[in-house]
Structure 1
């Protein structure tokens, strides 16, 4: 409770005082003895004592002095009458009443020192009571969070003790709690209403440190205040409050708001910690599910259910290798500046968000985790059309990701194990194999289904035979050494030549080479390998050797 003029006049030292104006509800924050001139020695809500010296017999000087006290927004003015002023003139009483200034007459015999001592003691006692009350509210707010209660309970405590409508939003300005705060003002502040809000200078008459952090928005004729909720220098949300018109934010109210701000920050820190713990638990669970051939028993199924996963359904496994490709400006020869930089944390956040969105659109369950530049996704299968479902799913993800993260490319390896149910490790292994083969054979951003890699898997099996490895080495050694020393692309040239069935014109166009330059490369290939590109057996041996060598590179 704040000290008022009426409380002050109730002190024994004012027993013989005579009240001239009935304006006794004003708050008193301090008391002082001020004579003319007033200048800037009087502050807001001050109880002023004066003898009237310097104004004796001069009604105009007295009127000017009283007017200066009024302009300083003092709450009361008490004259010691009997020497310089014997009776306060009626025109001075009328002036004080018109400006809601409490005007009091004190007998000359009452010492100002006694008055100051008793008033300061009263103010000190009330402030101690206020501080104790504020401390109790602070403890109540903190306990509210520690005991597992939420933001709505915080706004309830705040409203109960301040009678100020309050709302709390998160950093996305989604309202998480509301206590009598007009929804219309929230919509205006969030830009969902046509009426505009204007940021204005905070008009809170207080020296409380919290005042410097209050943002005031004017909406029509109304002012709404906002405080930013911070923790670890990170914006967590906003505390909105709107006092009634004319309601002042006292030191006590500002203290309570400050404690509420701390409680909100603590709540969001706790919420973030719980969320991060849940994310880590899910990540560890999915990584173990993918990388270990775990037994699918009741305990594992129950653990999955607690994390929000249903392992009883069939799933497609998708393993994606994430890269950021910087486009090069052809005119300058350097990377363009249009690529949006992104930390791994924010990149994974966007990918996770789009995976969840695509799953919701297709009405399919999804499970996602990340490890060392790769994303692992389990998508609820739609057998036997799992390839169509997968392509629709990836189309949704990549279309939105390319808008959010410029330069991102993801190569995908995809498997839907024939067993269908509870085959998470097997389908992951197959998806990884498909990804490795696809990255070796295709350009960035391609999708490779394990079911389409039978030839490559056959070649990979052959590549482990020692005798076949020796043949590949003998066939390609000079060609590989030549490419490495001269920085040429003879092996790549051969692969494109073979792709176009030995058609020189089509190969030259694909490689953007002059026909004679291509023929020169082909002669070099024949010279270095000792094989003829016109002989079917030699051509088959060279193709087989190149493909086995490339697959071996992928494995290592």
Structure 2
């Protein structure tokens, strides 16, 4: 699971700078994706959601104008506001009431503390969190690759990916049959089949190249809009494909897990395919050995017991034309009966 930086975590880190949370305490568990400065009350579409903005509010003349701007910031999904006390020494009561009513945290920055100091704390926190994510990611990727050597199978790899990405995964074999799944109750078996049918109807060879398809879910309850298809193939063979069912953009860390999981599934498929060919070849050799007369000794139907100690398997063979086989069997039975009568 990817960890996130929350407003609460950030406020704890800047507490030594005497930064004080004034209001909006019920909103401190929201995530924080960035921090920036906005000194002018500009309503720009460039403002991204889930951020924290710092300001002096020097451009806003009264509390009503401040509240109107906070209302706009809420509409842009800003998760907290830091007010520097270089101009405003005390937050107006009306602003505090608005903040509490809308769960918008407002913290007061002391006059002697610079914006740069606040931002430095966030960047240090971001680096620390990134290092934790990187370590977690390395452990997950190594775990998937090691599972191939330990013969844990494709389902194990798909489960690791699904738990990290938190989205349904469908793994199809080279015949486009379901090999393994991770749904965690997000979709059911009928919906999985509907996904495969819709992909097939859009493009018969959808599995031949990596591509993202739009998806029309049969139910509005399904929070799905796209299907990402990843073929599992090397220069010689096609081993199947992996389908990611999602409604979100993938981060760099997500893509790393996806690529390592794809590699692990490919290696597992190659290994399984090699073992399958090995057993098939051994079976063919066994059948040929049974049907072929041993070269070092002549076949003697009068002494069938000579070869019984070499018998390891019994194969039932169906002939398209049983006439010759029946003649051979009759001849063998006749010689066997003659041998019994002579003794």
Which structure 2 residues correspond to residues 149-188 of structure 1 after superposition, within 5 A?
149-158=152-161, 168-170=171-173, 172=175, 174-179=177-182, 181-182=184-185, 185-188=188-191
CA contact (8 A) 1:168 1:239 kept: yes
Residue 11 (structure 2) aligns with: 9
1:274 aligns with 2:275: yes
Residue 265 (structure 1) aligns with: 266
Residue 138 (structure 2) aligns with: 135
Residue 230 (structure 1) aligns with: 231
CA deviations over 1:59-96 (Å, ceiling 9, x no partner): 33x34543443344333221213415742562575268
Q: Tell me: higher relative CO, structure 1 or 2? Use CA pairs within 8 A at least 6 residues apart.
A: 2
Which structure 2 residues correspond to residues 189-228 of structure 1 after superposition, within 5 A?
189-191=192-194, 213=212, 218-220=217-219, 221-224=221-224, 226-228=227-229
Does the C-alpha gap of structure 1 residues 132 and 54 become closer, same or farther in structure 2, counting only changes over 3 Å?
same
Residue 70 (structure 2) aligns with: 66
Shift of 1:416: 4.9
Shift of 1:131: 0.9
CA contact (8 A) 2:171 2:240 kept: no
List gaps (5 residues or longer) in structure 2.
Answer: 202-210, 300-306, 331-343
List gaps (5 residues or longer) in structure 1.
Answer: 200-211, 316-379, 388-414, 422-556
Does the C-alpha gap of structure 1 residues 284 and 32 become closer, same or farther in structure 2, counting only changes over 3 Å?
farther
Cα distance in 1 between the residues matched to 2:62 and 2:116: 26
CA deviations over 1:192-214 (Å, ceiling 9, x no partner): 999x99x9xxxxxxxxxxxx858
2:83 corresponds to which of 79, 82, 85: 79
The aligned length equals 300
Which structure 2 residues correspond to residues 413-492 of structure 1 after superposition, within 5 A?
416=325, 418-419=327-328
Which structure 2 residues correspond to residues 347-386 of structure 1 after superposition, within 5 A?
380-381=318-319, 386=322
- Describe the SS at the equivalent of 2:270: helix
CA deviations over 1:117-146 (Å, ceiling 9, x no partner): 111110110111011011101111111122
Does the C-alpha gap of structure 1 residues 192 and 238 become closer, same or farther in structure 2, counting only changes over 3 Å?
closer
CA contact (8 A) 1:17 1:105 kept: yes
Does the C-alpha gap of structure 1 residues 259 and 125 become closer, same or farther in structure 2, counting only changes over 3 Å?
same
CA deviations over 1:429-474 (Å, ceiling 9, x no partner): xxxxxxxxxxxxxxxxxxxxxxxxxxxxxxxxxxxxxxxxxxxxxx
CA deviations over 1:485-525 (Å, ceiling 9, x no partner): xxxxxxxxxxxxxxxxxxxxxxxxxxxxxxxxxxxxxxxxx
CA contact (8 A) 2:173 2:240 kept: yes
Residue 371 (structure 1) aligns with: none
CA contact (8 A) 2:50 2:79 kept: yes
2:31 corresponds to which of 27, 32, 42: 27
Cα distance in 2 between the residues matched to 1:76 and 1:251: 26
Which structure 2 residues correspond to residues 201-350 of structure 1 after superposition, within 5 A?
213=212, 218-220=217-219, 221-224=221-224, 226-232=227-233, 234=238, 236-239=240-243, 255-281=256-282, 295=295, 302=312, 310-311=314-315, 313=316, 315=317
- Describe the SS at the equivalent of 2:145: helix
Residue 122 (structure 1) aligns with: 125
- Describe the SS at the equivalent of 2:242: strand
Does the C-alpha gap of structure 1 residues 189 and 164 become closer, same or farther in structure 2, counting only changes over 3 Å?
closer
Residue 52 (structure 2) aligns with: 47
Cα distance in 2 between the residues matched to 1:94 and 1:84: 17
CA contact (8 A) 1:167 1:178 kept: yes
CA contact (8 A) 1:3 1:29 kept: yes
Cα distance in 2 between the residues matched to 1:258 and 1:19: 45
Cα distance in 1 between the residues matched to 2:171 and 2:27: 38
Cα distance in 2 between the residues matched to 1:95 and 1:256: 40
- Describe the SS at the equivalent of 1:238: strand
**Which protein has the larger Cα radius of gyration, Structure 1 or Structure 2?**
1
- Describe the SS at the equivalent of 2:84: strand
TM-score, normalisation: structure 1: 0.45
Does the C-alpha gap of structure 1 residues 142 and 46 become closer, same or farther in structure 2, counting only changes over 3 Å?
same
Does the C-alpha gap of structure 1 residues 6 and 250 become closer, same or farther in structure 2, counting only changes over 3 Å?
farther
- Describe the SS at the equivalent of 1:104: strand
Cα distance in 2 between the residues matched to 1:238 and 1:279: 27
